[in-house]
Amino acid sequence: MNGWFLAAGLTSAGVAAVHARAGGRDVVRPLLAGNLPDEPRRVLHAVWHMVTADLILAAAALVGLSIYRHPGGNMAAWLLAAHFMTYAAVFLVISLAADWSKPWLRLPQWLLLLPVGALAAVGTL
């Protein structure tokens, strides 16, 4: 068993739970109640659900990689690590580009995403 992949998968599952619970309350409900035109509002709603599915599927893949040895497992884990690190970088860059005090804390999603990427990357070594 690869404990690093397991930790990454369980962390991703936790991120998915936070995303579904807090994101639904703090992001999706205000988005749907907002004044955006219907089409972009529905697209953003769909994208939010796609990210939820993405986080859950990544968690399942990482847990699966932790249990079963597969010839392409390290490549898949590297791709998942890059995936999460890229998500973290996007949140961090967008946060830092805003004119906010303590911008890295206004959109703290990167703090949840980066550990998944780091754990998956370490597991490949």
Which of these, 114, 117, 111, lies nearest to 77 by C-alpha position?
117
Range of the domain at 111: 3-123
Q: Which amino acid is at 42?
A: R
pLDDT per residue over 16-66, tens digit each? 999 988 888 888 888 888 888 989 989 988 999 999 999 999 999 999 999
For the full predicted model, state whether its pTM sits above 0.75: yes
* Alpha-carbon distances, residue 17 vs 10, 41, 112, 122, 125 (angstroms): 11, 23, 11, 23, 28
What's the domain count of the chain?
A: 1
